[in-house]
A and B are shown apart, each in its own frame.
Chain A
Amino acid sequence: MAYQPLKFYQTGTFTVGNRLLPPDVRSVQSTQRRTNSLNSGHRACQGCGEALGARFAMDAAMEASERQLIAANATGCLEVFSTPYPETSWQIPWIHSVFGNTAAVATGIAAAMKVKGRSEVRVVAQGGDGGTTDIGFGCLSGMFERNDDVLFICYDNEAYMNTGVQRSSATPATARTATTMAVGEAPGNVFGQGKNLPVIAMAHEIPYVATATVAELHDLEAKVKNAMRIRGARYIHILVPCPLGWGHASQDTIRIARLAKETGLFPVFEAAHGEVTSVSRIRRRQPVEAYLRPQKRFAHLFGEPPKLEVIARMQALADRNIRRYGLLEPESI
């Protein structure tokens, strides 16, 4: 089931030109079948990882459900930039209720479809990390526990970007946010806090959990399609860099997302019923510094002198992920 990455090293980059692929393995996004579920014209920032992730995820879900899809959306950037009244970028049935109840609203929609005998209609809930790991966590855990027929997608940009970059329980250690200021003896977010939502989702033993990044969009589409083949509660956690909140150039969104994976800081894997079933291995291992340095939220680590101890602690986190998930090719260990 796992997507097999295609290695086209001749391009000199990791990108895969769709023209080089046979039609049946091309991305949904590159075909005329794509539904533009999240249409152009929305108000996302330049280089927004969430807009990119949502576009690919929802079009893949539309393809997989044969266009029988309803989406529930948490309050947040995705909601605000896509539906400034009286306009909407959504070309699918879409509802926004409040910040913390998206999983429960989706459960209600799924129940309505079931009771009406329309089980072909599938339900996706989506939100940012705040609407998933913090305020939406109660409803999300309830939806998981009941194994309701909902795919929940978290677009994780590691802070509350819509309200001005405040810390969430998905904010990484040392990252500067508006509420974890880059001042004092230990600037930025503290070590030893935060939630690992994919692992918590796995602890519910739901049929499908996956992580993905916007650097590997074929993999992202494949995971959405895998999730849509299954009934019950499913969870996909997508890392989506935020140029505004992370302080990187807007053209570097893909590069930063790739570095998150290639350093081991963001493990990319699939799990079924609580067990990891496949892992996207690191192709060219990078030190965490390569990921941290281009982002202004970590700028306090690279002053004069640089905070080598803190960088080493971040490296230790990446190394632990590499060990825990087996992120390196066996021959390279």
Chain B
Amino acid sequence: MLKQVEGSRAVAEAVALCRPEVICAYPISPQTHIVEALGEMVKRGTLAPCEFINVESEFAAMSVAIGASAAAARAYTATASQGLLFMAEAVFNASGLGLPIVMTVANRAIGAPINIWNDHTDAMSQRDCGWIQLFAETNQEALDLHIQAFRLGEELSLPVMVCMDGFILTHAYERVDVPTQAQVDAYLPPYTPRQSLDPAEPVSIGAMVGPEAFMEVRYLAHVKQMRALELIPGWAEEFRRAFGRDSGGLLHRYRCEDAELVVVALGSVLGTVKDTVDAMRERGTRIGVLGITCFRPWPQDAVRAALAQAKQIVVLEKSLAVGLGGIVSTNVRTSTSGNAQAVRTVIAGLGGRPITRTSLERTFAQALDGTLEALTFLDLDHGVVERALAREREQRRSGPIAENILRDLGVVGARIS
């Protein structure tokens, strides 16, 4: 059914259609509307049977999900930013225990300085946690990915993180097609784990493993993720047949046929990138887009194949590996190693900085004429940076950078144009 709803509402309805049995909620912007909507459904009795638990922290949220999932209940939670970091220990534990929890991450920056707006630093910080990480481009895809996530996770016995851009998607009202309960029931069988906490069949879960077997355990976790790479395209295809939409899968290619320059990105920024590419194509520029839907496991071969023809590659990413540069681009380079392609990193949109078509066009043009540096920061205010650096050269100082810079900016609202 077509609906004009907020992204968070769309996700909440998708999760509800998946018949979750335990939902744990802890408030952090910008994911709050999702669990609020689910909580209301549980309280009204329209989502039943389901336990909605208001916990005291994100660490507890993931831990309650761990207990519920280990006891064979379908468990869901949502978080963002600091919340994801606060639960990090339990996040690793959930994948280590093979519990197919589904969690929405409404992507948001990490402090300090505290910032509630969108970038991908939160999800990227957990890229090696053993979860499957899927990135939604649109609200429709966010909705669809949640349905796929339960299926994926439960078949592979792995937790799945569905990442959607905070505010840009979670708070945007868009038209989405919400499937029927019958459609979702047909696609998603009930959760029946091979092993669970049950007095009828006692098992010990979470034993201590020493050097004699730990390597093998970790290797098998890797193998399981590699198997996910093989299975995800098939499940996306099955989803397409059942729901009539292309959603999920490993990658999305856009106008890549004869592209000289391919821009790699993930999340909602792909929309802006595609608009930019359309405009440049009209002027005869051979440019295309590679959207990464499945970031973990990393689709090594698929990315390599998708980029094979490109002479230039620009990776546009909303996170920064401080002291290195790009995280996604480092992954892309592993896929293109041995090729003579230049992979350039453009860090953009940190802490919610708008990514505009004008800036993207300028950047892509620079890439094509060979003047784009290996690592650039889109729309960085060099004046502010230089003044801060000059002050530091004058007087060595410790402490935070933010307050130092805010002095130069004056009234922040007056600056946003």
A residues adjacent to B (C-beta < 8 A): 67-70, 72-73, 79-80, 83-88, 90-98, 100-101, 104-117, 121, 138-139, 141-142, 145-146
Residue of B nearest to A121 (CB): B199
Min CB distance B22 to A, Å, is 5
Min CB distance A12 to B, Å, is 41
Q: Specify the main secondary structure of chain A where it touches its partner.
A: mixed
A96–B206 CB distance below 8 A: yes
Residue from B72, B89, B201, B207 in contact with A85 in the complex, judged by beta carbons closer than 8 Å: B207
Interface CB pairs A-B, < 8 A, 21 = A69-B199, A72-B67, A86-B207, A93-B203, A95-B70, A96-B207, A97-B66, A97-B97, A98-B89, A101-B59, A101-B62, A101-B89, A104-B67, A105-B66, A107-B60, A108-B22, A108-B70, A108-B73, A111-B22, A112-B68, A142-B57
Q: A108-B71, A109-B71 are in contact. List 5 more A-B contacts (CB 8 A).
A: A93-B201, A101-B59, A101-B89, A108-B24, A110-B67
Tell me which residues across on chain B come within 8 A of A97, comparing CB atoms. Answer: 63, 66-67, 90, 93, 97, 206
B66–A108 CB distance below 8 A: yes
Min CB distance B142 to A, Å, is 25
A84–B208 CB distance below 8 A: yes
With contact pairs A96-B207, A139-B60, A142-B60 given, residues A115 and B197 touching in the complex (Cβ less than 8 Å): no
Residue of A nearest to B199 (CB): A68
B73–A115 CB distance below 8 A: yes
B174 at the interface (CB under 8 A from A): no
Residue from B54, B60, B201 in contact with A138 in the complex, judged by beta carbons closer than 8 Å: B60
Residue from A93, A138, A142 in contact with B202 in the complex, judged by beta carbons closer than 8 Å: A93
Residue from B59, B72, B203 in contact with A112 in the complex, judged by beta carbons closer than 8 Å: B72
B280 at the interface (CB under 8 A from A): no
A88–B207 CB distance below 8 A: yes
Min CB distance B358 to A, Å, is 47
B206–A70 CB distance below 8 A: no
Residue from B68, B97, B201, B203 in contact with A109 in the complex, judged by beta carbons closer than 8 Å: B68
Tell me which residues across on chain A come within 8 A of B22, comparing CB atoms. Answer: 108, 111-112, 115
B202–A94 CB distance below 8 A: yes
Min CB distance B102 to A, Å, is 14
B210 at the interface (CB under 8 A from A): yes
With contact pairs A70-B199, A101-B59, A101-B90 given, residues A94 and B204 touching in the complex (Cβ less than 8 Å): yes
Give complex CA distance A116, B57 in Å: 25
